[in-house]
Structure 1
């Protein structure tokens, strides 16, 4: 038996797909497809907030420099304001690494709910429902590999991977 994917709730092997304790033998699966839900505005708003947090200190630094030049104060005061503004702008450096990591994870997780469906014993069955796009992709590819390498099922075919359908 070959294991294509294994985590705490999903296992894909050369003989079956197991999801949350339920086993679906590959020989009884005739087709697999997936559906994408609508975009999550919460996720998109979170990405926008991260972008604003990245741009905020840089904008503050630029405004500080512009303010220092606009005030026409003594060179010492102007230099102090410009110096403080530059320090604020440089302060974004260590913070940027953390924020970019959160942004990267946000894109890996995705912004849609994803479902994997199979025709099992002639009936459509939802195998998986998740919002984690990276994990979903790994599981879906594992099921594809398992279906391609599976011996022929009871209907005489080795199963098919159907074209994806989006939810209206």
Structure 2
């Protein structure tokens, strides 16, 4: 038996798919497909907030320099305003790596619910629903590899449809 994917709730092997205590033998699965749900506005707002947190100090620094030039004050006041503005702009430096990492992770997780379905014993069954796009892709690819590695039915071939649908015609007795 080959294990293609294994985590706390999903295991994909060369013989079966195990999801949250349920087992679906590959020999009983005729087709696998996926569906995407609607976008999560919460995730998109979170990304916008991260972008604003990254851009905010830089915008404040540029506005401070523009204000110092526009006020036409003494050299000492102008240098103080420009210096404070540059310090505010530099404050984003230590936070930038942290914020970019969170922004990266938000894109890896995705902004939609993803579902993996299978035709099992002649009826559609929801195998997995998650908002984590990275994990979903890993599980889906593991299922593809497991389905492709099944012993072929004489006279038939495994096929992957245009939308990533995996199907394998059953032989007739």
Same fold (TM over 0.5): yes
Structure 1, unmatched stretches of 5+, are none
What does 1:52-91 correspond to in 2, within 5 Å?
Answer: 52-91=52-91
How many residue pairs end up in the alignment?
A: 164
Is the contact made by 1:68 and 1:81 (CA closer than 8 Å) also made in structure 2? yes
1:2 lines up with 2:2 in the alignment? yes
Residues 107-132 of structure 1, C-alpha deviations (whole Å, 9 max, x = no match): 00000000000001111100000000
Distance 1:69 1:92, change over 3 A: same
Distance 1:159 1:26 in 2: 13
Give 1:13 deviation, angstroms.
0.3
What does 1:1-168 correspond to in 2, within 5 Å?
Answer: 1-152=1-152, 160-164=159-163
Q: Which runs of 4 or more aligned residues in structure 1 lie more than 3 Å from their structure 2 counterparts after TM superposition?
A: 155-165
Give 1:151 deviation, angstroms.
1.7
Normalising by the residue count of structure 1, what TM-score does the alignment of the two structures yield? Answer: 0.92
Secondary structure at 2:126 match in 1? strand
